[in-house]
Amino acid sequence: MVRPELERHAEDLFFSQRNGEPWEHLPYWDAMIDYRACGLVSMTHCIDVLTGKDLTPADVYHMRAAYGVDQSRVASKDGTGICGGDAQFQFNEMNRKLFGVESRPLERTVAALREALMQEDTVIWASSRNTDFYSMDGSVRTSRNGHVMCFWKYENGVFFAKDPGLTKEQGNNVPYDEERMEKWLGGWTYQQFIIGLAK
């Protein structure tokens, strides 16, 4: 999709990892999707935004399980692995085959994220912690554990995020201006990827 078409398709697209969603109690990592699978749900956002598919987090979960991924072992016990392993490069072969997308390196700077979202057919899967996460109503929460979001659009100095930890009303297209984004990126030192269509 060209960028304007991608953004029109993405505007209303949203999944939560909890809040009564039918997939929230599926086992994942050492708990369930509602507590641990922000990475999985954010990857679902990335897949659907880029490809126009209408996969749900449950679809992605079950497709990966059928491929042979043990959903209870997709992250390291000490927390040093990617949250859920969803975007790590070792999963590129699977993500290309099942979903038609792949992860690419991304520098952890506002400028790099801005440049990535100016390209055709790219979104961003990124996490942070010990920093502020915002809601559509302007309220702020701090995540001490890592939390992943899909950043899918940059416009007029603002990054737009899909935050799976919230309801659609509060988590769809949450604005992060460049000052907020600088602070958000500073909460952690890694776990950010360009997600693009498979080459």
Is residue 159 predicted with pLDDT exceeding 80?
A: yes
Strands 122-128 vs 131-134: parallel, antiparallel or unpaired: unpaired
In whole angstroms, what separates CA 74 from the centre of its chain? 16
Is residue 75 predicted with pLDDT exceeding 70?
A: no
pLDDT per residue over 10-68, tens digit each?
Answer: 999 999 999 999 999 999 888 899 998 999 999 999 999 999 999 999 999 999 999 98
What pLDDT score does 80 carry? 47
Is residue 172 predicted with pLDDT exceeding 80?
A: yes
Query: Domains in the chain and their CATH numbers?
Result: 3-197 (3.90.70.10)
pLDDT band at 72 (very low <50, low <70, confident <90, very high): confident
